[in-house]
Amino acid sequence: MVPALGESACGSGNFQRRLLGQAGSPATTSAFRRMLQKGSPAAIDQHETRGDCVMPEAIQGSSKKGNMTSGRAWAVVAVVFLAGFCMPANMGKTMWLAPLVMESYGFGPDILGWVNGVFYILGALIAFPAASFVRRIGVRSSVVIAMACAVVGNLIGLLSGTSVMVLMASRIVEGAGFGLMGVIGVTAITPWFPKGRRGLPLGVWGMWVAAANAITPMLDAAIAEATGSYLSVWQFLLVFDVIVLVLFLVIYRDPSEPYIDAAEKAGEVKFSYKELFSNKVVWVLAFVFFVEEGAFIASQGFLSSYVTTSIDAPLMVGTALVSAGAIWGACFSPIAGKISDAIGSRRKVLIFCMASAVLFGLLVFWVTDLRVYVLVIVLNGFTGGGVAAMLWASSSEVVPSHLISGATAALACSQSTGMFLGSMFMGNVINAVGYTMAGWCVLVPCFAIGLLAVIFGLRGKLK
Q: What is the mean pLDDT of the chain?
A: 79
* Cβ atoms of residues 95 and 116 within 8 Å: yes
Q: Are 67 and 259 in contact (CB under 8 A)?
A: yes
Rounded to an integer, the average pLDDT of 232-260 is 91
Residue 391: its pLDDT value, please?
A: 92
Report residue 9: phi and psi, to 5°.
Answer: -135, 140
Greatest C-alpha distance within the chain: 80
pLDDT score, position 260: 67
Helix axes 280-310, 315-343, angle to 10 degrees: 150
pTM score > 0.85 for this model? no
Q: Are 182 and 262 in contact (CB under 8 A)?
A: no
Residue 73 pLDDT greater than 80, yes or no: yes
Q: What is the pLDDT of residues 98-109, one digit of tens each?
A: 888 888 888 887
Q: How many CB atoms lie within 10 A of CB 182?
A: 29
Q: Are 273 and 406 in contact (CB under 8 A)?
A: yes
Percent of the chain with pLDDT over 90: 28
* pLDDT tens figures, 256-276: 877 766 655 655 567 778 888
CB 334 within 8 A of CB 207: yes
Digit-coded pLDDT (tens) for 151-164? 999 999 998 877 88
DSSP string spanning 114-157? Answer: HHHHGGGHHHHHHHHHHHHHHHHH-HHHHHHHHHHHHHHHHHHH
pLDDT, tens only, 171-217: 999 999 998 998 898 889 988 888 778 888 888 888 888 788 778 88
Answer yes or no: is pLDDT of 70 > 70.
Answer: no
Closest Cα to residue 444, out of 376, 370, 354, 323?
A: 354
| Structure-model confidence comparison of residues 330 and 52, the more confident one | 330
What's residue 57's pLDDT?
32
The architecture that CATH gives domain 72-261+270-457 is: Up-down Bundle (1.20)
* Mean pLDDT on 454-460: 89
What is the torsional sign of CA 94, 99, 103, 106? positive
Domain ranges of the chain: 72-261+270-457
Note whether 313 and 307 are within 8 A (CB): yes
Helix or strand run (H / E) with residue 240? helix 231-251
